[in-house]
Amino acid sequence: MTNRPRLNTEGSLIAGLAAVALFAVLAVVFAAVSFPAPAGFADGAAITKSLGAAMFDIAPGQLMDEGQAAVPAEGFLVAFIIIGVLLDAALDGAVMLAKREEKGENVGVGTETTDPDDSALAADGGGQADDVEGGDR
């Protein structure tokens, strides 16, 4: 018996035809349009410094050294703070979802549970150490 990788054929590929059709439509549309030559950035443009200035709403001229040109951008300080709050909320949400409680007690890895058969490590399928056979798996 081999254990080589096999093509995953789960689910139906018929639904995937919608994605292929969407790509075909988009490709036809994009092939038909033409854009002017890209404006690009000047040779001495300090991209990273300008990015930092835009993100913290600092006038880019204050950060530039000799010979460095600022690239225009808008100020994004409010958006930056809102994204920070969003990430904080996402972290709290992830912790809330991952927390496991039994009878009001927080159950974490390494927590002693009252029932020795009820392992706190049930997330791995609940297998105990003694029913794992030795050898290659």
Interacting residues with other proteins (CB under 8 A): 8, 10-13, 15-16, 18-20, 22-23, 26-27, 30-31, 33-35, 37-41, 47, 50-51, 54-55, 71-74, 76, 79-80, 83, 86-87, 89-91, 93-98, 100, 122-123, 125
User: Shortest gap between Cβ of 62 and other proteins (angstroms)?
Assistant: 16
- Is residue 92 helix, strand or coil? helix
The residue (of 8 and 62) whose beta carbon lies closer to other proteins is 8
The residue (of 1 and 62) whose beta carbon lies closer to other proteins is 62
Cβ atoms of 110 and 120 closer than 8 Å: yes
The residue (of 101 and 136) whose beta carbon lies closer to other proteins is 101
Give the C-alpha separation, 7 to 22, whole Å. 24
